[in-house]
Structure 1
């Protein structure tokens, strides 16, 4: 990750987002672009994308509440908590509106933010994640597998258990570098951090496959209310939410398009950074 960021004029900053100390990695100037990682992730998920996007935007990759090095308060980590945190972070940074690009959980959060605060979103990118439950038994099985791996990783956060969890993200296991694994291990080794991530994972992933939760947060009918141009940046190998689900969602969103990448799974921004960067930048500048 250090190699990808060499020569990039970036800074790591902490902001007070309504009492939540929030870590942010910033680079570039221009119209703001927030990068939202997935469940249990952190800002380094975008290490291979920051430099390319910083040529055009003020890039803001941040640790969502409970994640990374951001505070992990004792709260109910539902979608609303994540939406509120993003709103408070934007307020703390003095940003009125921005593009949003969210991966996995970050995509669902970005979509709900755009629904609640349409005036604050320029364009929206949903990267292998959106507020829809899996529509196949295979998808449900894949999410249950991820939840089981996450429980092991947060119950006993060793490099081995974290590696098993992270390999779920990749088409090729070799995509998991030692540097990335070590970064994740250090984050999960913070006092109380693994327990917080376990709690928010149960809420996010458990809720995704729990029919009782779908009336609140996984609502295909609400997608029709999205007002901003939206890109669904997907892969042919995305677990849990296959490309057919993304196409179905795009048909409901008034101004949507779909780009599907071939050589990645749940982290295209990491496994196919050049293709990902090209597709996203072209959409945001178009």
Structure 2
């Protein structure tokens, strides 16, 4: 695959774009960047125009001010679509990116063609909430890589870590190199916004897939099922034996799930548009 050259929007968002067809936007998780999507870019670009970008506070994108709200992250995506002159796109969000995708679909419904929420959070239990709040405090005190080893253990299987030490080391370095304030601002949202506008999720009226891994301890199958139950017609998929970073650890498996959904959503949309015409 040819190396893609990052580009920037007028507001400074760093992004990659490749492929032809209907646009699909990929949103990474906290502490990561657009590079996490390499497996999906390769798998989806033969079928769609694929856009991956760095969230506020990450990679080469601008740093948010302390206390920035989730809506600003949705507005960053809106500015990206405006820059690319895209009237709408399918939005795929992973982990924190799933919260951004939800916020975008609620605030910019007319720009959302379909929605995929991967390994994201919803309605944490008191114990789960206490755990993520504790990790936020550790990050505030010790920096973005304060929880790196524990995070990698949650994110990847032991077998994958042992077989791919160079990639694990690179992800550990990505975590450590994050801007401390940008990371903390984003992590605080990740820790507190799992019920963001939960009572309005029924307003999302586009094809939606909510998926996670069977062994994802922070974005559990029960969370996925509960979130999907709030969105009319949403599908739920739980991938057997997968942990949090399933897009990286098992890209072929995740890509097949995504392509199955994206092609069905595309066909449904074209059918509706044909009937209207």
| Shared fold per TM-score greater than 0.5 | yes
CA deviations over 1:86-137 (Å, ceiling 9, x no partner): 101111121111111000111111111111111111111000115x330x34
- Do residues 147 (structure 1) and 136 (structure 2) align? yes
Moved over 6 A (4+): none
Unaligned runs of 5+ in 1: 1-7
1:115 and 1:208 mapped to 2: Cα distance?
14
Instruction: Name the SS of the counterpart of 2:143 in structure 1.
Output: helix
CA drift of 1:154 comes to 1.8
2:214 and 2:127 mapped to 1: Cα distance?
14
Change (3 A) 1:171 1:146: farther
1:118 and 1:76 mapped to 2: Cα distance?
25
- Do residues 236 (structure 1) and 214 (structure 2) align? yes
User: Which of these residues, 213, 223, 226, is aligned with residue 245 of structure 1?
Assistant: 223
Q: Which sits farther off after the overlay, 177-186 or 30-39?
A: 177-186
Question: Contact 2:65–2:185 at 8 Å: present in 1 too?
Answer: no
Change (3 A) 1:86 1:173: farther
- Do residues 256 (structure 1) and 237 (structure 2) align? no
Name the counterpart of 1:172: 158
2:71 and 2:132 mapped to 1: Cα distance?
21
Question: Contact 1:63–1:69 at 8 Å: present in 2 too?
Answer: yes
Name the counterpart of 1:185: 173
Question: Contact 2:31–2:174 at 8 Å: present in 1 too?
Answer: no
Change (3 A) 1:115 1:203: closer
Question: Contact 1:29–1:58 at 8 Å: present in 2 too?
Answer: yes
Unaligned runs of 5+ in 2: 265-277
Give the superposed CA RMSD: 2.5
Name the counterpart of 2:246: 268
CA drift of 1:38 comes to 0.9
1:150 and 1:70 mapped to 2: Cα distance?
20
Instruction: Name the SS of the counterpart of 1:275 in structure 2.
Output: helix
